[in-house]
Structure 1
């Protein structure tokens, strides 16, 4: 058996290799939810004038990969594998942008997990207000049910606001909130979602859900279901242990969990507790990019 230091070094190399690979989109360019102009997943607007007039991030924002490069990234909203069925407006590149304090706290949590043979994987970080607005528009369109079978199979879409799954503002827009999970090292690749493929419920057993290289947390990411509540009593055994592993590591690093979503954590104190930003998710939004 190789020495422990060699095994950890090899695992780190595997993490960096996977983290450097952005998820590819197979979605065709088109209109984003709510009728706003859409972009190909991870692509720029292609309009230099518009790009130059876009709002910029405060200097406190950084790209997570510069602070904690070993954290895996699967920025879902830059792809078509979302509850809307399309890439989300505002996600022009598959980047994790956060306030620097939040990124440093994630680095602390990551170091703790690496020592145990695990890694964090982020699904979503800073979220522009325009993205939140597009979710609101989508939720009001009761005819659009294309992703229901996977993301909200047991919830009537007309109740998404009342049940708290969709809101007009999100803590993500303040830059201190992150959606994430835990992956066992060495990380295995996750196949890309193919738009139009058969869907399976996000609350189904792991073998039936859309594949994810994370630990089994009992549901998929963005599952609009009470089974996603972090401490739901129906989640037991290994699934509960995995949720508690994430919860303990994140709380030790200064984060608070949103009890209705096992993946949702906010660093405290927030750098911008009363601000909701709207700069796009793109490296040009950052100071000195």
Structure 2
């Protein structure tokens, strides 16, 4: 069955843009033994993002040591999952981006996030004053409902991230869209860095995502009240 599915996908991707086939095939050709987190997400009806669009890159930052906790928080969770509303909107955003600049692609840095990881991040914050960048695990983050996605722009062929003025998860005012014009005037952001952010924001909002004022990389399709009604919290 796996062989025929792979052959069928190959046929569908024959005329796809270069780079999409490898990432779409990665989804088909993985070990069918899902991790415990993936099984929970699948049971909740979440969608693996490559099903929405094979051009999207995935580099889960909490599956590496390069994050605010300083260690791998995800273990066996290697793929990005989202609630259908967010997954389909992300697929639309990638198509909009491709139409504007086929050399670029979206890169997911985080998607649906188990609540235990939210707690670990909360505990790892170096200063309580930084808690404005992270939802309290007692109430849950929109990531815990699969409604939010952290995303940046990359070179579509190489995966090299564009310069956005600061990396994803920078806990500093430079990450906040509400201060971008101020930092541009002060020379702390360049016009190219701001243009990169604006391009990302444009395709994401056109696709149906909402922004927040303190993280250029964070996008969501619902507010917390709507998420509680529409989705399932991932423990």
Q: Which residue of 2 aligns with 1:125?
A: 111
* Mapped pair 1:223 → 2:170: yes
- Residues 163-242 of structure 1 aligned to structure 2 (within 5 Å): 163-165=132-134, 167-168=136-137, 169-188=140-159, 213-232=160-179, 233-234=182-183, 235-242=189-196
Give 3-state SS (helix, strand or coil) of 2:153's partner.
strand
Q: Distance in 2 between matches of 1:56 and 1:243?
A: 30
- Given candidates 48, 53, 70, the residue that maps to 2:55 is 70
Indicate how the Cα distance of structure 1 residues 103 and 56 shifts in structure 2: closer, same or farther if over 3 A, else same: closer
Greater share of residues in helix: 2
TM-score, normalising length: structure 1? 0.61
Instruction: Give the distance between the partners of 2:177 and 2:16, measured in 1 at CA.
Output: 28
Give 5+ residue unaligned stretches, structure 1.
1-8, 23-42, 46-50, 143-156, 189-212, 280-289
- Partners in 2 of 1:180 and 1:56 — Cα distance? 20
Structure 2: gaps (5+ residues): 1-13, 28-32, 184-188
User: Aligned with 1:160: secondary structure?
Assistant: helix
Structure 2 CA distance for aligned equivalents of residues 123 and 249 of structure 1? 17
Q: Report what 2:17 is aligned to.
A: 12
Q: TM-score, normalised by structure 2?
A: 0.74
1:2-50 superposed Cα distances (whole Å, 9 cap, x missing partner): xxxxxxx99932354367679xxxxxxxxxxxxxxxxxxxx988xxxxx
Find the aligned partners of 2:124 and 2:86 in 1 and give their Cα distance.
Answer: 29
1:78-93 equivalence runs, <5 A: 78-88=63-73, 90-93=74-77
Structure 2 counterpart of 1:60, from 45, 64, 68: 45
Q: CA RMSD in A?
A: 3.1
